[in-house]
Structure 1
């Protein structure tokens, strides 16, 4: 069959997907991308599945070729998770093996919270913390300030958002191409082919921009860095004000969880270069009030805390760290990733 693209009408919106394999296959896999990307990033992974697997990589709302619908950030990740459940219905899938990358890791965790019986297994690839991105400290996601300052739409680099909106294909510092090559991967060990680079850049530039999409609106704050989450758009949806996946530890039934990350990830980690508190600690952002009141977010520790509680309640998870990989281990270390992932979903390696 090969990799195909199509638009699927669901009860919620028209969803653009890439897919591979037998449409009637018993084993069903859903691959969910992260922020400023699309299902295109999974094209090579899609090509690895055997013919008896039906693998689908949708574009989330606000990305790729999927119908543009505003994102209600006050629902956290539920706009996206509800969209995916509607897609499963349209595909006539009673359940599926779910993989989520980066922000998509949080989205598939929310799917498992909303409908755990529909999740055969869960694979989290460089996932966002269960307590969103920015503005929290400690293993339990305690906010640094009562209004969650330091997270949300106002924390995103405005020049980068403008470059996405303008369709900037240059290699200038801070451009989408530059950010992809420096931060989506560990540039010291991986470089995309020219064909991959252009396809992935095109996918990034399909991101819808605005207050209802990326990055979202913002609210002034009296707390450093003087911006707090608004109520609309992407970065507010995954702020800790609205995204809290701690209840994942209590879901029943409990699908097996594989957590894969690279040890050179500069985006999701305990010292993320996209966390304003970390940038403040490094002296890059002025006015940082110090580690007592605004420490960098321990993203890995927060995920591990939730998964440890999941395991304590009878669930199982494995944490796999791929040496030298950055934020996209399924791209940067495909053989090592496939060996772990195929076994997790019951495929013969």
Structure 2
């Protein structure tokens, strides 16, 4: 089977999302929901939490390390996500959440995690194999939306209703002008990603995609932090370009004050204003924009966006260290 290019995987994001929104699941009786994962698998949990936190009556927590808090118990629904199914930290999360009596759901394309879920009789949701893990988020977000429906927060119709507009937005991105403009602004710069209004997951996704796909340095910071005079020193060099994610860009808003600060420091910036009243459209459109921009930046510098050998080497070293314990 031919491997899909990075652009083909980006194009398929919405199809993957749509195809995973109608899973037939049981209802889950729980007090809280913990979305567990590392790296690209974890970002799907962060995106889902940002979308659902304003609607869910149950506490949603994202966990990115194998240290399971004591409050996770038999009243906790723990969703363990790992595309490969072999990420050692995520396997540890599964083992420890199981030991504490949590209800477990596993999302994976295979590997050891799939084997463990099948052996233990836990609910298993499988993702299409053969993808780059960070491009599997369409499936994972769709699966998580289905899980949230069966914990009492049903936004499936809102997701489905957003897809036509998101497809139009994707088509605009593939025409290139907006992506070309952003990639030009960020070329040879350190990117500071400034966020507010539930857009933390968007900034985190941009950071990972700019570093993994584009091979550029990127950082994240809440817009509210810019009120601290010490933070202003972070903007005191000319290799920086800021990207601001905000719904309100008025003069007295956090974004407006950030723009004043950046102007005073002669730092370039782009403002990406939320285009809709729908949080689903706002978050997913900005995710797509960052993904396409990062791949364009990789191509412009002759880099392979799929080549992430430093991450693979680090994973290997971490696995060796953790297995030695």
TM-score when scaled to structure 2?
Answer: 0.26
Larger radius of gyration: 2
Bigger proportion of residues as helix:
2
